[in-house]
Amino acid sequence: MEVKNHRAVHGGELCDGHLTNGLVVELFRSGKYQGPRDGLNGFIPAAILRNKLKVWSFQSLGMDKGCFGELIEYGDEASAEYVIAVHDRVNLLNLFRVNDFVGAVLVKSEGGTIVIGGSSIEELLPIKLAVAESLNLGFTPSKEEWVLKLKLEQTTREAGEKARDEERKRAQDARELAARQHAEKVANIESRPKVHAFTRDGLKHYLGTPVYNDEEWKCLGDGRYCILMEGTEPIEAFIVSKQHAKVKKTRIVSVVGKKPDQTTTAMETGPQAIGQRVVEIRGEKRPIIIFSSMDDIRALRAAGLNSGTWVGMHKENATKIDVFAMNHGGITTVGVVPA
């Protein structure tokens, strides 16, 4: 709205609000108005002019004292329009769409005044209800409006129920789709050929479903044996554990894809010597390799050392070295020498 032609009149001042459709809303502000005076503060609609012809006026409504009109911008940005709400301090009494007066006229009737050629009751009622609510006013519909209001409320309820039903159906469809996609994903993973894997010492063998990331194994069932792959190589064997919402790996073992050679493995992964020396026991001198525990001695025997070789065991902080012979029949004690 473009406001022009501010002018003083008896009892206050007038200005003209020009709309893009050619209508002019004549606005009046009383000389007794004490509020902010910037913009259109304090102005109320006095008349609507079309081609300088007055087609609506507040005075022609014949309202009681204490009633006034209020120019309101109604609707969203795309469909905004001006309406005039006529009300007292408690109730909305009437409402006029300014755009109606592009072709409509206001005429007197037995009940007061009516607009001919304007919006229908069906079009006006939702606007009246919305404006009354926005101004925190009461509104008493006419008999016709009351019937229409009940119908509008029923239509609104039915539309709301339909929208909720559609939303529930969309949510159900989404859940079913997600369940199907999950089932297909699990089936695709579980249909993969099983992978063989071995511990690095070659002593244990594993057979499991190949998986390539956390997302894959976490979607499988509780107790599923998996082999985690890195490219084409297995690197880890484990069992999926699911307890309520918690999913984790259990019995995790580092693995390789090819069973290692046992002799090579024993040499590569066998016990570590901590020293060597020559010892004399019962008059016999021999060189020995010294290890730190009996487990190391047994590991040597398991790896095939059985030639009668002497080896020593020196535990940490011990004052003696135990000497053993690695024979075909087992491990025998030779004697003890000072550390």
Strand order, beta sheet including 12-18: 2-9, 12-18, 23-30, 44-50, 53-57
User: What is residue 111's predicted lDDT score, i.e. its pLDDT?
Assistant: 63
- Contact 321/338 with Cβ under 8 angstroms? yes
Give percent of the chain above pLDDT 90.
50
Three-class DSSP category at 254: strand
Residue 158 located in a structural domain: no
Question: Of 45-59, 177-191, 291-305, which gets the smallest average pLDDT?
Answer: 291-305
- In terms of domains, do 43 and 136 share one? yes
User: What is residue 138's predicted lDDT score, i.e. its pLDDT?
Assistant: 94
Structure tokens at 140: 């008493």
Segment holding 334, helix H or strand E: strand 330-338
pLDDT category, 262, cuts 50, 70, 90?
low
- In terms of domains, do 249 and 274 share one? no
pLDDT category, 132, cuts 50, 70, 90?
very high
Report helix, strand and coil shares of the chain as percent, to nearest 5. Answer: 25, 45, 30
Mean pLDDT of the chain: 88
- In terms of domains, do 298 and 245 share one? no
Q: How many CB atoms lie within 10 A of CB 115?
A: 18
Closest CA relative to residue 26, chosen from 17, 35, 34: 17
- Contact 121/42 with Cβ under 8 angstroms? no
Q: Is 264 exposed, middle or buried (0-12, 13-18, 19+ CB in 10 A)?
A: exposed
* Final residue in a domain of this structure, among 204, 237, 262: 262
pLDDT digits (tens, 9 = 90+) for 58-94: 988 888 888 999 999 998 888 899 999 999 999 999 9
- In terms of domains, do 128 and 222 share one? no
- In terms of domains, do 205 and 87 share one? no
DSSP assignment of 273-296: P-EEEEEEETTEEEEEEEES-HHH
* Final residue in a domain of this structure, among 218, 237, 262: 262
Q: How many CB atoms lie within 10 A of CB 26?
A: 19
- In terms of domains, do 132 and 233 share one? no
User: What is residue 299's predicted lDDT score, i.e. its pLDDT?
Assistant: 84
User: What is residue 166's predicted lDDT score, i.e. its pLDDT?
Assistant: 93
What's the pTM?
A: 0.47
Q: Answer yes or no: is pLDDT of 268 > 90.
A: no
Task: Please give the torsion angle defined by the CA atoms of residues 233, 237, 214 and 218, in that order, rounded to the nearest 10 degrees.
Answer: 140
- In terms of domains, do 83 and 108 share one? yes
* Final residue in a domain of this structure, among 205, 239, 262: 262
- In terms of domains, do 247 and 313 share one? no
Please give the Cα distance from 79 to 294 (Å, whole number). Answer: 92
Domain tally for the chain?
3
Strand order, beta sheet including 138-139: 68-74, 81-87, 91-97, 138-139
Q: Where are the alpha helices (DSSP H) in 71-194?
A: 121-134, 143-190
Residue 87 located in a structural domain: yes
Domain region containing 219: 193-262
- Helix 143-190 and helix 121-134: axis angle, to 10°? 80
pLDDT digits (tens, 9 = 90+) for 181-215: 999 999 999 999 999 999 888 888 999 999 999 99
Q: Answer yes or no: is pLDDT of 270 > 80.
A: no
